[in-house]
Amino acid sequence: MTQSRKEHIRWPNDAKCAVLLTIHVDGESLYNRDPNHPSPRRVSYGKYGPARAVDRLLELTERKGIRCSYFIPGQIAERYPEMVRKIDMQGHEIGFHGFDHEEHMYTDRSREEWVQVIQRAQETFQRLIGKRAVGYVATSSDFQMDAPQIWHEQCGFQYSSSMRGDDRPYRMVFDGRESNFIEIPARWELDDYPFFVYSFDPPQPKGQSRIASYKGVLSNWKHEFDGYYGEGGCMTFMLHPQIIGIPGRTYMLEELLDYMLDKGDVWFATGREIADWWLTNY
Ligand SMILES: [Zn+2]
């Protein structure tokens, strides 16, 4: 069903908008890419997430009564099984994000190979928490046009949060028809990475001039929230523990959550809950 800008989406309990915090626990997987140039310091930047920051985020969301969707590469789940169990025990969702945070997963590998990557990660989740992921977040590289259809029909995923083209969920269209596969798009503006990621050597960002002001980012996100609240969309964040989960930024995140919670009529939900809602109502 097509929604006009002014036509408010119906959310549970007449909430004005939905907020989804997707937490990408990339861990070491993002930072050990080049076997010829091992970089223990850079790898330790990723390790900070599971080793330190995930606990901080869990404590914060537990205190606020908010549940999130954690997307964890299979190898990170295997390396930190207690973390995975703790996330699951606290009622958060665990979703698929590659086995090794594979880049170019869909361009450098055959379909059979990347379906095997998915199965391998699912077996890890099954072993650790007794369930499979239903949510899919593609890693940063691109994918082929027919990939989402395979994620759904062949691999059993119910939703993805991999696109950028809307601020509301929608049913993906396969073979010219609306499917039961829900896309919950996210946006770079609601990703901590472009504001805060920093590596001295190798340089990231190239040119080295970016660590955005916390106040500025908080202000951006509050303004953006006001927009979603006014129009009734689904505000989908992409947060990385190694980036948002250092002490001062966690305070900033708390201030943002308090701002949203103070409204009293915002639906904080996991991706799975949002996909289920959309499937039933739209
Ligand atoms: Zn990632």
Ligand 1 centroid to residue 227 C-alpha, Å: 26
Can you read off the two tokens belonging to residue 163? 């696109």
Q: At 212, is the pLDDT very low, low, confident or very high (cuts 50, 70, 90)?
A: very high
User: What per-residue confidence (pLDDT) applies to 1?
Assistant: 47
Can you read off the two tokens belonging to residue 11? 């959310």
Q: At 4, is the pLDDT very low, low, confident or very high (cuts 50, 70, 90)?
A: low
C-beta separation of 173 from 179 below 8 A: yes
pTM: 0.94
Ligand 1 centroid to residue 184 C-alpha, Å: 16
Ligand 1 centroid to residue 254 C-alpha, Å: 22
C-beta separation of 221 from 256 below 8 A: yes
> In terms of Cα–Cα distance, which of 212, 215, 224 is closest to 187?
224
Mean pLDDT of the chain: 93
Ligand 1 centroid to residue 233 C-alpha, Å: 24
Domain boundaries, the chain: 12-281
Q: What is the mean pLDDT of residues 211-219?
A: 96
| Residue 41 predicted with pLDDT over 50 | yes
Environment class of 154 (CB within 10 Å of its CB; exposed 0-12, middle 13-18, buried 19+):
exposed
Ligand 1 centroid to residue 91 C-alpha, Å: 21
Tokens 């985020």 sit on residue: 57
Ligand 1 centroid to residue 6 C-alpha, Å: 34
Give the pLDDT confidence of 149-200 residue by residue, as tens digits.
999 999 999 999 999 999 999 999 999 999 999 999 999 999 999 999 888 7
Ligand 1 centroid to residue 176 C-alpha, Å: 30
| Residue 6 predicted with pLDDT over 70 | no
Ligand 1 centroid to residue 101 C-alpha, Å: 6
Ligand 1 centroid to residue 160 C-alpha, Å: 14
Q: What is the mean pLDDT of residues 204-222?
A: 89
Ligand 1 centroid to residue 113 C-alpha, Å: 20
CATH class of 12-281: alpha beta
Can you read off the two tokens belonging to residue 127? 């072993």
Tokens 């805060």 sit on residue: 196
Ligand 1 centroid to residue 259 C-alpha, Å: 27
DSSP 51: I
Ligand 1 centroid to residue 16 C-alpha, Å: 29
Count CA atoms closer than 13 A to 232's CA, side-chain side.
13
C-beta separation of 42 from 199 below 8 A: yes
Length of the chain as a residue count: 282
Q: At 204, is the pLDDT very low, low, confident or very high (cuts 50, 70, 90)?
A: confident
Ligand 1 centroid to residue 143 C-alpha, Å: 15
Which residues, including other chains, have CB under 8 Å from residue 108's CB and lie 6 or more apart?
none
Lowest mean pLDDT among 109-113, 117-121, 132-136, 187-191: 109-113
Can you read off the two tokens belonging to residue 43? 């790898």
Ligand 1 centroid to residue 31 C-alpha, Å: 11
Ligand 1 centroid to residue 213 C-alpha, Å: 23
CA 113 vs. chain centroid, Å, equals: 24
Share above pLDDT 70 across residues of the chain, in percent, rounded to a whole number: 98
Lowest mean pLDDT among 3-7, 63-67, 108-112, 188-192: 3-7
